[in-house]
Amino acid sequence: MNSKINASRKHLSNLLEAIERCVYFLDGSASKIAWPMQAEKLAAHNKDIDLFEQLSSVNERFSKLQDTLGGAMRHAAVLSGEKMDTFLQVLSFFEKINVLTSIEDWQTMRALRNLAAHEYEIDYTDIAEHFNSLKELMPQLYFIAAAFSAYCHEVHGIRSASNDYSADFVRIVVRV
């Protein structure tokens, strides 16, 4: 039984490292873009591969961070002994302990992430709006990552599996 608990704790530690890495790379990708995004700029640079690769990277990394956080929150809640039949219960638990500001905010981020994954927009105004929305939500996603990391350390005594991204993670989340 102890080996299962140890394996579960190790898995959470690995997830924390993945979260730190996601924050690091999302922040790095976003820093390469001149914000706010303008529809006119997108239209004028509609064949600029570097620009659209940077935007794609922000989109992908935002999604990856939220997905990783979601999985890690579920894992941590179960490790805490909480009964979690649905992800809504997971969100409710983390809202109660102030890791999430609100379930609605999480769902807004999720809806924005899902729209990008399933729609192929060609209107540059809509594209600019999408990326500006991601940029606006990034500080909130970083807050959740930081609050979740603190929860894991305070409640479970678990930190990131390595320190490769830890100092950068702290620098980024403290800045917002």
Chain segment 91-143, per-residue pLDDT in tens: 999 999 999 999 999 999 999 887 765 556 788 998 999 999 999 999 999 99
- The range of the structural domain enclosing residue 80 comes to 2-175
**Structural domain count of the chain:** 1
CB 110 within 8 A of CB 101: no
User: What pLDDT sits at residue 170?
Assistant: 97
Q: What gap in Å lies between CA 15 and CA 19, rounded to an integer?
A: 6
Instruction: Pick the closest to residue 143 from 107, 172, 165, 111 (CA basis).
Output: 172
CB 135 within 8 A of CB 36: yes
Chain segment 5-16, per-residue pLDDT in tens: 889 999 999 999
Tell me the pLDDT band of 175, cut-offs 50, 70 and 90: confident
Q: Of residues 82 and 144, which shows the higher confidence score?
A: 144
Residues contacting 124, CB < 8 A, separation 6+: 39, 40, 42, 43, 46
Q: Which two tokens stand for residue 152?
A: 């894991």
* Residue tagged 């969100």 (tokens): 91
Q: Which two tokens stand for residue 24?
A: 């690091």
